[in-house]
Amino acid sequence: MANGNSATLTRRYNRTVVLDALRRHGSLSRIELARLSGLTPQGIRNIIEDLIDTGLVRETGRRRGQRGQPQIDIEISPGAGYCLGLHVAAGACHAIATDLAGNVLARPEARALGGDHGQQLDALGAIAREVASAADGLSRLGTGVVVSRPLASRWSATGGLAAAQADFAKPFEALFASTPLVFENDANAAAMAEYTHGRAKGRGDFLYLFLGEGVGGAIVQGGVPVHGGRGNAGEFGHMLIDPKGPKCHCGNRGCLHGSLALDGLRRLLPAGAPLAPETVPQSWLDGAASALSRALVSLENIFDPQAIVLGGTAPAWLLHRLVEKMGDPGPSVRSDMAEARVEVSGLGQSCALIGAAALPLLALTSPDPATLMKEPLVEQAAD
């Protein structure tokens, strides 16, 4: 792809500024967009005209009940295309396709993702064809791929992959790299689902605590996940809660993981018993709630977030029981706030998959100053 000149890159960046404002606010007039973006009214008119021509935004009609010439509202067009989300966990690939409003267009059955490169291509190709058929002619605007493990570095098809992950990425690149392709871990993806569709909508600075077979998390600042020097920021599961506690697989003792992870809880259940409200030992619940309380106070004092969201692949009833048992975590920089100290996600156990589909939408609508100095974004959508 040829490098764009400065005018081209600036125009692309300004388009994402406008799309970001519309995604955050739902609908805005041209005057409001100019005020929020800092762009000139003429610049906004040109950008909106371009975005209407491409089908990404639409006019929704004039406002009523105002003096003078009523303003015309602009919004992102849900039917401008679809975003594909893929979550690879336990050797299977789960998929979902949503329009730009988050409405589910397709959710194929999970397919095994094993074997050689050709077998993986066959499995992913079957998913792509089923989704394309359900999308009924809409263009794919991007694909998000989520994995259930920490990443050695931030993944993106345009930013380069860690050597250890290159083979895994090859079939995805072969099929989906014609439009933005973003790789992420499950905790960051779940946090982005909360940011676009859940408890953290409208909050640019929040923490996400991911509870599943393991314990992870995400740090979101300015609406963007913090990845850290090696891509592993947000590993809240390895916060030291009790130096005399059991040894963790990381080598330390008393990590939060040992108190909250579902893999440890399952080992305490009677043989053959399912994870259910009546099978959870009270001793585990007491210890888990205490550990969660200590972790939350530390996280609040370190990050002072707007919100902390508790979610993951753990069942919602368990998350609510933990929060209820925890009660008041104790004093911190946020303890005098009227709102809840921790909020349970409402997105359910598919939060990472929902986040996978949100990743390309965020890539399309999130202003990144770095784009002013590198190759332009792909504009052509693939079917």
Q: Are residues 184 and 210 in the same domain?
A: no
Position with higher pLDDT, 294 vs 100? 294
Confidence of residue 321 (pLDDT cuts 50, 70, 90): very high
- 173 plus 48 within the same structural domain: no
CA distances from 361 to 197, 280, 303, 310 (A): 12, 39, 27, 23
Let me know whether 24 and 161 are in one domain. no
Q: Are 272 and 291 in contact (CB under 8 A)?
A: no
* The pair of three-digit structure tokens given for residue 316, joined into one six-digit string: 């919602």
pLDDT per residue as tens digits for the range 208-225: 999 999 999 999 998 889
What tokens appear for 276 in the block?
Answer: 């259910």
Answer whether residue 383 is part of any domain.
Answer: no
Q: Return the CATH number at 23.
A: 1.10.10.10
Alpha helices (H) in 104-165, listed in sequence order: 117-135
Distance CA 360, CA 205 (A): 20
Say which CATH number the domain at 243 has. Answer: 3.30.420.40
Q: Do 211 and 141 share a structural domain? A: no
Task: Please say if the pLDDT value at position 376 is more than 60.
Answer: no
Whether residues 72 and 89 share a domain: the answer is no
Does 131 reside within a domain? yes
Domain residues for the domain of 304 are 201-346
Q: What is the secondary structure of 193-253 as a DSSP string?
A: HHHHHSTTTT-SSEEEEEESSSEEEEEEETTEE---TTS-TT-GGG-BS-TTSPBPTTS-B
Flag whether 91 is in a domain.
Answer: yes
131-155 average pLDDT score: 79
pLDDT confidence band for 380 (50 / 70 / 90): very low
Of the CA atoms within 13 Å of residue 112, those in its CB half-sphere come to 5
Q: 119: Cβ–Cβ under 8 A, 6 or more apart, which residues?
A: none
Q: Does residue 72 share a domain with residue 106?
A: no
